[in-house]
Structure 1
Amino acid sequence: MLYYLLQPFAHDVRVFNLLNYITFRSAAAFVSALLLTFVFGPVIIRRLRAMAVHQVVREGTPDSHAGKGTTPTMGGLIILAATFVPVLLWARLSNRYVLLAMAVTAWMGMIGFLDDYLKLRQKREGKKNEGLVERYKLAGQVTCGLGLGLILLLFPISTLPGASTTLPFFKYILVVPAVAWAAWMYIPWVTFILTGFSNAVNLTDGLDGLAAGLMAIAVLTLGLFAYVAGRVDTSAYLQIFYMRGAGELTVFCASVVGACIGFLWYNAHPAQVFMGDTGSLALGGALGSIAILLKSEFLLLIVGAVFVAETVSVILQRTVFKYRKKRFGLEYAQQHRVFKRAPLHHHFELSGWPETQVVIRFWIIGILCAILALSTLKLR
């Protein structure tokens, strides 16, 4: 909005020429997002407390989490507001990369909001806190993935084929379907990535500050990739595919990073508010969509390695438990679990690590993964 209002005056007022630079608008979006969390965060938290919108403690969490049942949830509203307002102010809203990323984030956020709302209503009515029926939640996520995949397949937003992706560590290698009809398999591929990472962030959101901190690290890393891929000179120097318009996605990434860091002010241990599914599903959708738009789905396995590990721990725990229960009985299965508790962060909690120690160590691993991902720009 500010770009369209002020940029036409760049010839008369030279300072407005800064709006032509993605770096300036990204920095402005980051600062705006951060300030918005400080301004509106306390207002939203007070409102959530007044409405008794308290966290629903998940089954299977350690006993130390019992006291968190009085902490407000749905703080993802802070993240969404602090993300979208700066994007609307500083980004070029005609850019399809930005529009698609915003659409996916909003869609996933609405699914999460509905899930949180139903959990709270069921809690007040004395019912089991199941929230949105699992198959309905999954249907909403799959619908979003199918829609994004179909749009990218039929209406490619770059010079690269719609049904394609790239590989980290390799220069100018584009993975495309071997035959024309196989291009339609790109749609379920996008759906799998988007659904998988939205749920992965949701599973990771179990400790104070864990998901928000890891998201800031991961999105910042992808934002750097977006900026590089959107420049002709830099992409040529680093021998990666140039994607016209992708640089504008950096503004969106900067807004997400600012919103996550600002949210940490209230979500750091001991948390004053939790993001809930409203925030975790939206952030997971944002992370997945950014990687898909940049044709960097495989790179996401490195950038979001902690999210992947958390998800794998849950899948492995459930699969092995069901197998041992069927083969050896319930008692044996309960005594011989793969992890003390899943997701993975709870395993380390029950191993004696304090909550803050788990969070900081996972952040460190996230930073190492980000450095490894950035190293792929030169190791080609």
Structure 2
Amino acid sequence: MLNYIFDILIKAGADVDALKLTYATAVPFVLSALLGWLFVPRVLLISRKKKLYDIPDARKVHKQPIPRLGGITFFPVLLMSFCLSIGIWMLMHLYGGFTQVYILIARFIMLAVGMMVLYLTGVADDLIGVSYKDKFVVQILCALLFPLSGLWIHDLSGLFWLHEIPAWIGMPLTVFLVVYITNAINLIDGVDGLASGLCSISLFTLGMAAAIKTQYLFCMISFSMLGVLLPFWFYNVFGNAEKGKKIFMGDTGSLTLGYLLSFLLVYMASLDKMGFPRGMLLMGFSTMIIPLMDIPRVMMARVREGRNPFTPDKNHIHHKLMRTGMKPFWTMVTLLVVTVFLIAFTVITVKLEVDKTLILVVDILLGVMLHLIIDHFIAKKEKQKK
């Protein structure tokens, strides 16, 4: 039936590549969005009935208990929409973009295993709590699945004037980056819509890059996750807490998102003849430059103060913006706009073949300038109080 419909469209003059591109982006996105709108309200209902709340404290922005199991929908919806999209795709015989299928299957199975382990770890943390040491060990074990499946960074594409690197450097680097990205998303989740908004921008950027390069399988998984983030983001940002319509993603969601994004970035940066431009590693990391830069700054500040670098505090970039007097909503909007600007700058300069190390240095300097501007307004705000 589906193949018959596709044949009719072709006979009507539809372009095959355009049909594939439309399918790979629209179908998984719509499926995930519909499933998200179906599941998120029900998770809210269960959370309220079972009193599964994130309780406010001195470090948190919200002032009343909020359900924190929104992220429990991410992995199941991703799996359902992705598998449905692939199943329909194969029934319609749209096999373009599925090169080296046995390798792809192995790597996506490894991804599913790692995501499931982190998903269950996140659920345990949201319900009963898991120490940061235990979470760290689990993240490392899940990260090891990437090089185990043959997926690791072989080439830095001229970054730091390096190109092809040996396995004994590339594999540990890959594990480090997976753990780093996963924690970056987890730690930036402190303001409504910020972590999900940043991940949505990243998923859209990476998904469109894959679509343009006809990497349809890659595109499907990006838009499958993007779709479920849409209803969650709506409830997270615009939901009314007093009416029980607001929800957080919790560690279940942030760990799942961080792991998937690290998989996509490493995949695009690896030498698999996937057709991605060699500057994709840098362009991919520009989509998450704000949370990635925030981790070392916050940890160094904690060490200088003689505290454990893994202890939580209110020194993240979103906390700093709010100390200037900015409301949480506009804090989220500001950081998303800055992210879009940094992505555009990085993509344009990579396309112009500017030295990649120089691009990275400029990106870092722009991030430092942002913090200096924020510090200026914090000092101004504190001076007005005196």
TM range (shorter): 0.7 to 0.9
| TM-score normalised by L of structure 2 | 0.73
Q: Deviations over 1:178-222 (max 9, x none)?
A: xxxx41332211111111111111111111111111110011111
Q: Match of 1:142, as an amino acid?
A: I
Instruction: Please report how far the alpha carbon of residue 225 of structure 1 lies from its aligned counterpart in structure 2 after TM superposition.
Output: 2.3
Match of 2:231 in 1: 262
Match of 2:41 in 1: 42
Match of 1:107 in 2: 117
Q: What is the CA–CA distance in structure 1 between the aligned matches of 2:153 and 2:253, rounded to whole Å? A: 29
Counterpart pick for 2:297 among 307, 310, 313: 313
Q: Deviations over 1:286-311 (max 9, x none)?
A: 11110001114443331111111332
**Shift in CA distance, 142/343, structure 1 to aligned 2, threshold 3 Å:** same
Counterpart pick for 2:167 among 175, 183, 188: 183
Contact kept? 2:283, 2:343, Cα under 8 Å: no
Mapping for residues 79-228 of structure 1, pairs under 5 Å: 79-91=74-86, 95-96=104-105, 98-118=108-128, 131-152=129-150, 163-167=153-157, 175-177=163-165, 182-228=166-212
Q: Percent identity?
A: 23
Q: What is the CA–CA distance in structure 2 between the aligned matches of 1:110 and 1:168, rounded to whole Å? A: 38
Instruction: Please report how far the alpha carbon of residue 174 of structure 1 lies from its aligned counterpart in structure 2 after TM superposition.
Output: 7.8
Q: What is the CA–CA distance in structure 1 between the aligned matches of 2:17 and 2:167, rounded to whole Å? A: 41
Q: What is the CA–CA distance in structure 2 between the aligned matches of 1:84 and 1:168, rounded to whole Å? A: 35
Match of 2:382 in 1: none
**Shift in CA distance, 14/100, structure 1 to aligned 2, threshold 3 Å:** farther
Match of 1:364 in 2: 337
Match of 1:342 in 2: 315
Mapping for residues 225-240 of structure 1, pairs under 5 Å: 225-228=209-212, 230-231=213-214
Q: What is the CA–CA distance in structure 2 between the aligned matches of 1:368 and 1:205, rounded to whole Å? A: 21
Q: Deviations over 1:97-150 (max 9, x none)?
A: 6545444433322221121122xxxxxxxxxxxx21222111110001112122
Q: What is the CA–CA distance in structure 2 between the aligned matches of 1:46 and 1:136, rounded to whole Å? A: 30
Mapping for residues 220-299 of structure 1, pairs under 5 Å: 220-228=204-212, 230-231=213-214, 246-269=215-238, 272-295=246-269, 296-299=280-283
Structure 1 gaps of 5+ residues are 119-130, 154-161, 232-245, 326-339
Contact kept? 2:286, 2:346, Cα under 8 Å: yes
Q: What is the CA–CA distance in structure 2 between the aligned matches of 1:147 and 1:219, rounded to whole Å? A: 21
Consecutive aligned runs of 4 or more in structure 1 exceeding 6 Å deviation:
15-20
The question of 1:352 aligning with 2:352 is answered no
Mapping for residues 2-13 of structure 1, pairs under 5 Å: 6-7=2-3, 10-11=6-7
- Corresponding residue SS for 1:137: helix
Q: Match of 2:236, as an amino acid?
A: N
Q: Match of 1:48, as an amino acid?
A: S
Contact kept? 1:145, 1:187, Cα under 8 Å: no
Instruction: Please report how far the alpha carbon of residue 363 of structure 1 lies from its aligned counterpart in structure 2 after TM superposition.
Output: 1.1
- Answer with 274-283 or 219-228: which moved more: 219-228
Match of 2:276 in 1: none
Q: Deviations over 1:30-79 (max 9, x none)?
A: 1111111112211111011111110144x6515x53x23x1101110122
